[in-house]
A and B are shown apart, each in its own frame.
Chain A
Amino acid sequence: MRVRVNPIDCTAHGICAELLPEWIELDEWGYPAVDGQPLPEQLVTHARRAAAACPTLALRLQED
């Protein structure tokens, strides 16, 4: 599974970086930067929670 951000929908609430700090960093304008690497198994539950909590539903989880 991979984490993707729809950059058009994202409005920099930053909740994802609070719920998934191991994987998501915010840039200086508050927008999440994620790399496209496969998500480690132990982070999948946190990632689901972060995606569900995104107010604009911009955080997407993509099955491989």
Chain B
Amino acid sequence: MSTMPLIPPPPPPTRPPARQWAQRLLLPAGAPADNLAAHTARHGGLPSSPAATIIDQVDAGGLVGRGGAGFPTGRKMRTVAAGSGRAVVVGNGCEGEPGSGKDELLLLQSPHLVLDGLALAARAVGADQVHLVLHAGSPAAPVIAKAIADRARARLDTVRIQQHAVPARYVASEESALVQFLNGGPAKPMFTPPRPYERGVARRPTLLNNVETLANIALVARHGPAWFRSVGDPDEPGTQLLTVTGPGAPRRVIEVETGASVESVLAATGTRYDDCQAVLVGGYFGTWLSAPAAHRLPLTHDSLRAAGGALGAGIVIGLPHGVCGLAETARVAGYLAAHNAGQCGPCLNGLPSIATALQRLAYGPWDERMTPPLARWLTVVPGRGACRHPDGAIRLISSALQVFAKDVDAHRAGFRCRGVGASTFLPVPHPATATGPWR
């Protein structure tokens, strides 16, 4: 009689099957980018719906902005349309987040879907000025320029779309900074209110939307609100583009239905969830979540807010074991501090102080007398800038101090991470990108 082992061997680690989601925005792998003819063949022509219908469809479809704040797009359109003075529409394709690549991919693959969205938004709010802003040096710039020229030749749009390049700095793509830039000033955030939807470009009501939001406007205007709502979370329906990086899985842009779990999107890029010690959701404006806390969390604005985080522009990064989350965050803090606009005292003094303290904690020498000021700065700086840059940076840093509490204790007890030359995980642009013109 053969002997059965008393304790069965553990099953081999399984990868959860990669989920398939509806693909509305991204093209099938390997497909060439859509030129105007291919775009029209794939999606049909530009709908001729009147202004009120477009806004009603966006409203009923429940589209929320894909640039980070998650504000209902239809409500914003209605406010701009009802504002005093002729409206202006601005498409934001800057993608200032170093961890994000989704806007660029969308612009490269489907430029006309974004431009359709701009044209429809302009019609919806009665705009006679339409702008599309990209970061200087964006690989999408020539593609967009050609697409705009092709549309002009086809006499597709009633309002000419003007393309701009804004300096590639972190805060330059904040909406009031774009307004100031388009008004001829530096691309720095302004003191609000008035918000751009009240008084923006040329002092007129200005509808500012992320390019992924615009592409969704183009889809909901073609297929209607019921179709739009047929996938995703009922409160924030549709699909969303995410930029996902995991242990051993290089950065990839994927399209998922809203509400997909953190684990499922990491699995879709080939990451085993067990290989992650923590997850950064929302990029450098977001928060660290411990692996157990993030695991089955649905990726919606509501659920991230409830978990003390922010979905932001859809960045999900799984941090491998063996990488110090504190040191990684210290590097990001240095980048964010260097990228303040140099305008508001609490931010331009506070962020460098906080970043320096964090770097001392990570790389040494640490001095326990730095604990009280660091704790104080983390509470006195938020909410005191013209824009949300200090708030976002501090939210990220505070979440790191919580999630990596064990590492913090070890570092306070004298452990030092290697600084210069150590291998790093999070993408942080060279500090030199923080210098240069604001126009």
* Most chain A CB atoms below 10 A, which of B191, B343, B373, B385: B191
Minimal Cβ-Cβ distance residue in A for B376? A28
Could you say which of A7-15, A16-24, A37-45, A46-54 contacts chain B? A7-15
Q: Do A29 and B386 touch (CB < 8 A)?
A: no
B43 within 8 A of A: no
Could you say which residues of chain A place their CB within 8 Å of the CB of B346? 7, 27, 29, 31, 33
Q: How far is the CA of A22 from the CA of B345 in the complex (A)?
A: 22
Q: Do B380 and A7 touch (CB < 8 A)?
A: no
Q: Do B191 and A27 touch (CB < 8 A)?
A: no
* Most chain A CB atoms below 10 A, which of B345, B347, B349, B350: B345
B190 within 8 A of A: yes
B384-399 vs A, Cβ < 8 Å mask (1 yes, 0 no): 1110000000000000
Minimal Cβ-Cβ distance residue in B for A62? B193
Could you say which residues of chain A place their CB within 8 Å of the CB of B373? 28
B46 within 8 A of A: no
CB distance from A31 to the nearest CB of B (A): 4
Within 8 A of A (CB), among B339-364: 343-347, 349-350
Interface residue from A8, A28, A30, A33 paired with B344 (Cβ < 8 Å): A8
Q: How far is the CA of A6 from the CA of B345 in the complex (A)?
A: 11
CB-CB under 8 A for A7 and B343, given A27-B380, A31-B384, A33-B380? yes
CB-CB under 8 A for A12 and B345, given A7-B191, A7-B385, A7-B386? yes
- With A30-B345, A31-B349, A31-B384 known, 18 other A-B pairs at CB within 8 A are A7-B344, A7-B346, A7-B347, A7-B385, A7-B386, A8-B190, A8-B191, A8-B343, A8-B386, A9-B191, A11-B345, A12-B345, A27-B346, A29-B345, A29-B349, A29-B350, A31-B346, A33-B346
CB<8 Å pairs between A and B, sample of 15: A6-B386, A7-B344, A7-B384, A7-B386, A8-B344, A10-B345, A11-B345, A12-B345, A27-B346, A29-B345, A29-B349, A30-B345, A31-B349, A31-B384, A33-B380
CB distance from A11 to the nearest CB of B (A): 7
Q: How far is the CA of A33 from the CA of B384 in the complex (A)?
A: 8
User: How many B residues have CB within 8 A of the partner chain?
Assistant: 14
Binding site for A on B (CB under 8 A): 190-191, 343-347, 349-350, 373, 380, 384-386
Q: How far is the CA of A9 from the CA of B384 in the complex (A)?
A: 12
CB distance from A40 to the nearest CB of B (A): 21
Could you say which residues of chain B place their CB within 8 Å of the CB of A29? 345-346, 349-350
Could you say which residues of chain B place their CB within 8 Å of the CB of A12? 345
Minimal Cβ-Cβ distance residue in B for A34? B384
Could you say which residues of chain B place their CB within 8 Å of the CB of A6? 191, 386
8 nearest CB pairs, A to B = A7-B344, A31-B345, A29-B349, A8-B343, A6-B191, A8-B386, A8-B191, A7-B386
CB distance from A59 to the nearest CB of B (A): 13
Q: How far is the CA of A9 from the CA of B190 in the complex (A)?
A: 10
